[in-house]
Structure 1
Amino acid sequence: MSTPVTRQDHRDLLGGLLMAAVGFAAAWYAYEHYELGSPRSMGPGFFPFGLGILLGILGVLIALPALVRPGERLRLAWGPLGSVVGSIVLFALLLKTAGLIVACAASVLVASLADRTITWRGRLVAAAVIAGLCWLVFIVALGMVLPVWPWSP
């Protein structure tokens, strides 16, 4: 069975356009909100602006050839996409109320649903390890003030 072919390589086209949009948006944000300075006396926005422009140009360079190159029909896997997006939303909702450990563990568990080959034991181990690493990095090493547990102040 052959895969359907389209007139354009949608995977590279969409990926390149997404890269360009993120890059140019980051450059615009840096330009609007931070002082750029000059190459000799760089301001806080100089580096993010430059990286944003570079990412935008790379995105365009990926997207343009994809307009004329044939490619496979793009099939979006809605389940894994929903798992990953849902895990990000869940983390944002749980961080202040349930604490860092619970938010990280829940986020990893939901995101791991995107891969059906992972066992529940593997999911639980990954959630525990990542939650512990988040605690070590953000609370212990960086000293960030975040609730660690639901009962934390």
Structure 2
Amino acid sequence: MKKSDTFNIVGCLTAELFKSDGTYEVTHKHNAILNIGFDFIADSIGNSSSRPAPMGYIALGTGTTAVTGTQTELVSQLMAKAATYAHDAGTKVFTFETTFNKGEATGALTEASVQNAETGGALIDRVVFPVINKGAEDTLKMTFTFTMSQSS
């Protein structure tokens, strides 16, 4: 391997808010892979004795603290919900997606993550975004897209 070979993983969140009055809002924001997320990736690939549980939840919260690599949880988690994982073989993109339905995760949402447990698990990432005001009658579709690349 040449010293110039690099592997990258970039995450993006797309949040689609469907308001009860028929209006639609979309938020798109890059997220940060956390140190615990890089540990998760390494352990998933190479730790044969105690691999971590797979990522399978999207969590929402109300924290506004800036993202740092050393964070291990959302600042103020409101709710986590099971997410659907998708990846097409031969591509460098994978996604996690879920919809928070009416009555779920209502409030002034400002942070999100993909994690491997409803609470207390490992986060691969964290993103802070401008407030999304989700009312009790609104639905919110959350899609995290991760794109891997390699350059030399």
Common topology (TM > 0.5): no
Which entry has the higher C-alpha Rg, 1 or 2?
Answer: 1
**Normalising TM by the smaller chain, what interval?**
under 0.3
**What TM-score, normalized to structure 2?**
0.22
Higher relative contact order (CA 8 A, sep 6+): 2
More strand by share: 2
More helix by share: 1
